[in-house]
Amino acid sequence: MYHKINHNMKRIVFFFLVAVVCCNTSTAQKFYTKNGSISFFSKAPLEDIKADNNQVMSVINTQTGELQFSLLTKGFHFKKALMEEHFNSDYMESDKFPKSTFKGSITDIKKVDFAKDGTYAVTVSGDLTIHGVTKKTTANSKIVIKDGKIAGSSKFIITLSDFGISIPKIYQDNISKTIEISVACNYDQKL
Amino acid sequence: MSHKTKKYILITILVIAIGGASVGYYLYNKKHFSVEESTPVAEITAAALHQTFVTDSSAAKNKFIGDEINHKVIKVEGDIADVKKDQLGNTIILLKTATDGAFINCTLEGRSENIHAGSKIAIKGVCTGYNFDADMGIPGDVILTRCFIVP
């Protein structure tokens, strides 16, 4: 009888261990922030325009490389009130399209050793949705691990017409057709 | 046309031009409206504010979010879950709601005095919306910007 109990015990322990291992591998390592920063910069003959949004929500899955961003268009703050008004009512039509999102992944996530401090150059690719239009976008990005903390950043250029945003002829010297977007997020929260 | 008439026409054109330029200059350099001096269109608890956005986002948008012509400022009261800084060094105050992990996310424009997690606080600011995305698997926050602590 002892022999049978022993065998069953071994089975129980085995299945328990398998379950524990399975749980650990399926518990995705997700980190996020709700106050990430995205800013954009337009350089044109008559003026330079810059705006910041510091309530960007972003989630990173350190195992799969899955990366998502979501922000409220009305959250972009300009120095000049009139510019902010035009941005929301004329160009981005923020009441119609309240959010801009990115859903994609860090395609070379395996390059990053999240347990080791350092700077890792990676490629981010996915669907960028602005003004209700979705376009596949790829950007060179950086992941910095410092004291075990994850920070991601990127700089890339978008063409406004790709997203159905048209600039009236009179403002062509005030607003550039291509805009530089800068992203900086500290993934300080763990799911 | 007499010399005098020409002179008057020229002066009129000049006045209109200067007037137009002044208006243009004023509009271009117009500062953002003052949140500190604005009367809130609503006074609500953090939990109730979050709940309104979750259950009826259209009603919440109509009530709490203004536009370029009609600016709206709201006053929110709640318990501080956390105080932190964003990338630009702005102070962020997170107010607790009835849902774990969901907060009223307030970025301060005004001074941040001795504030710490756990205490009650009243904040006046501009509501930009509810940043929630079902795909992301995290509870969304109601976002307030240009915030001032109400003494």
At A45, is the secondary structure helix, strand, or coil?
coil
Query: Residue B105: its pLDDT value, please?
Result: 98
Cα–Cα nearest to A114, from A57, A65, A59 = A65
> Which of A7-11, A109-113, A146-150, A167-171 is predicted least confidently?
A7-11
A11/chain B closest Cα distance in angstroms? 35
pLDDT for A22? 52
Lowest mean pLDDT among A11-15, A17-21, B56-60, B90-94: A17-21
Q: Is the pLDDT of residue B5 over 70?
A: yes
Angle between helices B57-64 and B46-55 (to 10 degrees): 130
Q: Is the pLDDT of residue B62 over 80?
A: yes
- Average pLDDT of chain A is 91
Cα separation, A107 vs A123, whole angstroms: 6
Residues B46, B95: Cα–Cα separation, whole Å:
6
Complex confidence, ipTM: 0.87
A78-137 pLDDT, tens digit each: 999 999 999 999 999 999 999 999 999 999 999 999 999 999 999 999 999 999 999 999
Query: Residue A72 in contact with residue A99, Cβ under 8 Å?
Result: yes
Q: Which residue has the tokens 């910007």?
A: B145
d(CA B127, CA B76): 10
Write out the two tokens for A168: 């009236």
Q: Which of A34, A80, A81 sits opposite B105 (nearest CB)?
A: A34
Distance from CA of A52 to the nearest CA of B (A): 10
Put simply, the answer to whether B86 touches A191 (Cβ < 8 Å) is no
- CA angle A57–A62–A63, rounded 5-degree value: 135
Task: Note whether A99 contacts B: Cβ–Cβ < 8 A.
Answer: yes
Report chain A residues whose CB lies below 8 A from the CB of B35. none
pLDDT at B112: 85
Q: For residue B109, which residues of chain A lie inside 8 Å, CB to CB?
A: none
Show which residues on chain B lie within 8 Å of chain A, measured between beta carbons: 27-33, 65, 67-68, 84, 86-88, 90, 92, 103, 105, 107, 128-129, 131, 133, 135-138, 140-141, 143, 145-146
Taking only Cα atoms into account, the Rg of chain B, rounded to an integer number of angstroms, comes to: 23
Yes or no, beta carbons of B87 and A37 under 8 Å apart: yes
Of A30, A54, A68, the CB nearest to B135: A68
Say what the pLDDT of residue A67 is. Answer: 97
pLDDT of residue A25: 47
The radius of gyration of chain A's CA atoms, rounded to the nearest angstrom, is: 23
Could you tell me the pLDDT band of residue A26, with boundaries at 50, 70 and 90? very low
Within an 8 Å CB–CB cutoff, is residue A50 touching chain B? no
Token pair, residue A127, equals 């669907």
Interface test with A, best of B82, B85, B133 (most A CBs within 10 A): B133
Comparing CA positions, the residue from A45, A44, A134, A131 lying closest to residue A89 is: A131
- Shortest CA gap A178–chain B (Å): 22
pLDDT at residue A42 greater than cutoff 90:
yes
Residue A2 has pLDDT above 70, yes or no: no
Q: Are strands A77-78 and A118-130 parallel, antiparallel or unpaired?
A: unpaired
Q: At A76, which amino acid appears?
A: F
Residue with the larger pLDDT of the pair A113 and A20 = A113
Beta-carbon contacts below 8 Å between A and B: 88
CA–CA distances in Å: residue B58 to residues B65, B127, B134: 10, 14, 17
